[in-house]
Amino acid sequence: MSDKITLKEDLIFWNQILGDHSRFIFHSLAPVEITVIQEAKNFITVFDSLWQESKSLQNQSQMDRVLDHTMAAMLRLRTFKLSLLSLHLEKKLRSSLNPTFYNHMLNELENAYMLMACYANNRTPAEDPVSLHLLWMLDAIGHADTLSCGVDASQPDIQRIMHDFEKKFQKYYLASVEYEGFKRAMTGLYPALERFDKKAAEDMRDFMQLLESITEETLTAGVIGSILPLIPDHMAREECYYLLRLHLADPAVPEVKCVPWRDRVRS
CA distances from 227 to 63, 102, 129, 222 (A): 35, 17, 31, 12
- Check residue 213 and give its pLDDT: 97
- Check residue 126 and give its pLDDT: 84
Q: Express each pLDDT in 204-246 by its tens digit.
A: 999 999 999 999 999 999 999 999 999 999 999 999 999 999 9
- Check residue 3 and give its pLDDT: 79
Helix/strand/coil for 237: helix
**Which domains occur in the chain, in start order?**
1-125 (1.20.1260.120), 127-266 (1.20.1260.120)
- 93: DSSP letter: -
Cβ within 8 Å of residue 256, ≥6 positions away: 201, 205, 208, 240, 243, 244, 247
CA 16 from centroid of its chain's CA atoms: 10
Q: Express each pLDDT in 69-119 by its tens digit.
A: 999 999 999 999 999 999 999 999 999 999 999 999 999 999 999 999 999
Greatest distance between any 2 Cα atoms in the chain: 55
Report whether pLDDT(267) > 90: no
